Structure 1
Amino acid sequence: MNKIKIFTDSTSDLTPDLIKENDISIIPLYVNFDEKSFKDGVDISTEELYRKVEEYNMLPKTSAAPPAEFYKTFKPYIDDNYDIIFIGLSSALSSHLQNAVLAANQFPEGRIHIVDSLNLSSAIGLLVMKAVDFRNEGLNAFEIAERVKALVPKIKTAFIIDTLDYLFMGGRCSALESFFGGVLKIRPVVKVVDGKMVLGQKLMGKRARALNTMLNSVIKEKGNISPERVMVTHSISNDAGYLKNELNKHIDVKEIIETQAGCVISSHCGPNTIGILYIEK
């Protein structure tokens, strides 16, 4: 059986420690300000992203890695007798995954397995970590990919957006909604449905109330949560510790992992966004 290499992209928001410890490789998306292009997490950090948004008074455009970049990245591993699994950002949100498919088609059939997460952020990270679990169990690449694909519908995500400014600049809400959202302190909950970001419940009032509403909705589902891991993901937020502590009190999982959203995800959601992500049993 060939060795197995697991790839994902920068929107999986895995920590550097998880990436290194589990032999995961990242193929980043791009963040573009005017004529300047940056690899997410390589040439630009989330903190730098926010500084540039203020400097340029505009959101960046994001773009996928081209097929040639995927091919160049995959080829040394194929030549070294690895089989590859790539788990990437929802195909409904970016061409990144389609470009991975185009590159994979240039190699012998069955050597590269592409998994559409139909999701974003640490929801992808959860699938990647399950792929690592399956690799550690000794499964081959085809078996791992099929098992991960079966988990895609079981991923549950919820993010609280702290400001509507980024949704407005990105064309996802109107100027009027943005204005009244600021005045009334409306914090929408973002979920992923059919691979796309959708605005769900709009929570009003203090941030603590919004956090507890999201937290309680997860705790109510504690009997349905897979016991391996839960992720708390945020974009420069100080509330991750609180959520982790409360989750530890109320749900029984082996680990609760804190991750930070990269530049592509942050450019759509804005600072202080925070979410809880898990896999259903």
Structure 2
Amino acid sequence: MIKILTDSTADLTPELVEKYQIERIPLYVFFGEECFRDGVDFTHEEFWEKLKTTDVFPRTAQPSPADFMEVYRRLLDEGHEILFIGIGSTISGTISSALIAQKEFPGAPIEVVDSYSLSMGIGLLCIHAGEMVARGMKLKEVAEELRKMVPRIRVSFIVDSLDYLYKGGRLSKTQAVLGNVLNIHPRIAMAEGRLFAAEKIRGKRRAMKALIDWATGEPEKIDPLMISAAHCDAEEEVEEVAETLRGMGVAKEVVLTKAGAVISSHCGPGTVGILYLAKED
């Protein structure tokens, strides 16, 4: 039986984890010398609160090859074939650790898929993997199909404050201060696995509209299975986004998810995003 394995940055809801029997391996989060396992040692809410009350910028670290070896060995002993879908190699060294560990099990049924994404960009691949496994597809077939899907992942977030982009080294102090004074809310997007500022918009409401316009400009290109609205401590705003998406009927299901340590660290509380898979051309 194929076991879908992902990392803690996938931001899957407990219901989706249960439905597809997905297992997660945690990344590590450091606040100074304090080390926490992402998604294990704190809840999303606890992490957001710590972000707001500390001057220490958190840093994340990938699971070690030894962490992966331990999980691989257990799952193989249980008779599973393993499909690992992880955070983009352009963002984290998690995929590297997974591949190093894979080499310790020559000939074992293990496939490693680089999502070149984060958050529910990874999660959507896990869901599609679960659907393919349920249809009886083989391990290598599922992995090959997922790799074809990777370029079709669409990710975009609206940032509430520029402080976290500054703390993470993505903006200068002058840019952050000036942007906050001018009430600038960037729309962050991804291309080839890298985050960049796609738009700089004045005013949060206008920025939220730009986010929805980006996602729904060509609704016929959205894969109908699912679209995700994600947030970092912005429940009311993400509910509004989700209701708009539902009203437009862009997908069968609109899933609300809480963004974890990676997005929360770099974008900060108040961030809202939309993630989906584009249809094949």
Q: TM-score range by the shorter chain?
A: over 0.9
Deviation at 1:228, TM superposition (A): 0.5
C-alpha offsets along residues 25-58 of structure 1, whole Å, 9 cap, x if unaligned?
Answer: 0001010112211001100223322333344412
Length-normalised TM-score, structure 2: 0.96
Which residue type is aligned with residue 208 of structure 1? R
Correspondences of 1:168-247 after superposition (within 5 Å): 168-205=166-203, 207-237=204-234, 238-247=236-245
Give the Cα separation in 1 of the matches to 2:44 and 2:153: 25
In the aligned structure 2, how far is the partner of 1:93 from the partner of 1:188?
19
Q: Distance in 1 between matches of 2:31 and 2:196?
A: 25
**CA separation in 2, counterparts of 1:267 and 1:35?**
16
Q: What are the ranges of 5 or more consecutive residues in structure 2 without an aligned counterpart? A: none
Q: Could you say what secondary structure the match of 1:239 adopts? A: helix
Please give the alpha-carbon distance, in whole angstroms, between the structure 1 residues aligned to 2:50 and 2:238: 25
Question: How far is the alpha carbon of 1:20 from its aligned partner?
Answer: 1.7
Q: Does 1:269 align with 2:257?
A: no
Q: 1:90 to 1:253 in 2, by over 3 A?
A: same
Match for 1:120 among 103, 112, 118?
Answer: 118
**Is 1:256 aligned to 2:254, yes or no?**
yes
Paired residue for 1:89? 87
Match of 2:156 in 1: 158
Quote the offset at 1:9 in angstroms: 0.6
Residues 38-187 of structure 1 mapped to structure 2, 5 A cutoff: 38-109=36-107, 111-187=109-185
Q: 1:252 to 1:107 in 2, by over 3 A?
A: same
Secondary structure of the corresponding residue to residue 251 of structure 2: coil
Aligned-partner Cα distance in 1 for 2:250–2:261:
31
CA distance in 2, matches of 1:243, 1:64: 31
Distance, in Å, in 1 between the alignment partners of 2:5 and 2:209 is: 34
Alpha-carbon distance in structure 2 between the residues aligned to 1:81 and 1:54: 44
Structure 1 unmatched ranges of 5 or more: none
Alpha-carbon separation, structure 1, partners of 2:201 and 2:62? 33
CA distance in 2, matches of 1:108, 1:248: 46
- Alignment root-mean-square deviation, CA: 1.2
1:250-274: CA deviation from partner (whole Å, max 9, x where unpaired): 2342101000001222111100111
Deviation at 1:136, TM superposition (A): 0.7
Amino acid at match of 2:174: L
Measured against aligned partners, the alpha-carbon deviations of 1:9-28 in whole angstroms (never above 9, x if no partner) come to 11110011211221000001
**Shift of residue 220, structure 1, vs aligned partner:** 1.3
The correspondence for 1:10, drawn from 8, 11, 18, is 8
How far apart are residue 147 of structure 1 and its match?
A: 0.5
**Other-structure match for 1:32:** 30
Q: In terms of mean alpha carbon deviation, does 215-224 or 6-15 score higher?
A: 215-224
Is the 2:32–2:56 contact (alpha carbons within 8 Å) kept by the matching residues of 1?
Answer: no
User: Aligned letter for 1:72?
Assistant: E
Cα deviation code 1:134-188 (max 9, x no counterpart): 0011001111111011000011111101110001111110111111111111000
2:136 maps to a residue whose letter is G
> Matches of 1:47 and 1:257 in 2, distance apart?
18
C-alpha distance in 2 between matches for 1:54 and 1:156: 28
Contact 2:158–2:185, Cα closer than 8 Å, also in 1: yes
Structure 1 segments, 4+ long, off by >3 Å, are 53-56
> TM-score, structure 1 length as denominator?
0.96
CA distance in 1, matches of 2:64, 2:91: 15
**1:238-258: CA deviation from partner (whole Å, max 9, x where unpaired):** 211111111112234210100
Length, aligned pairs only: 278
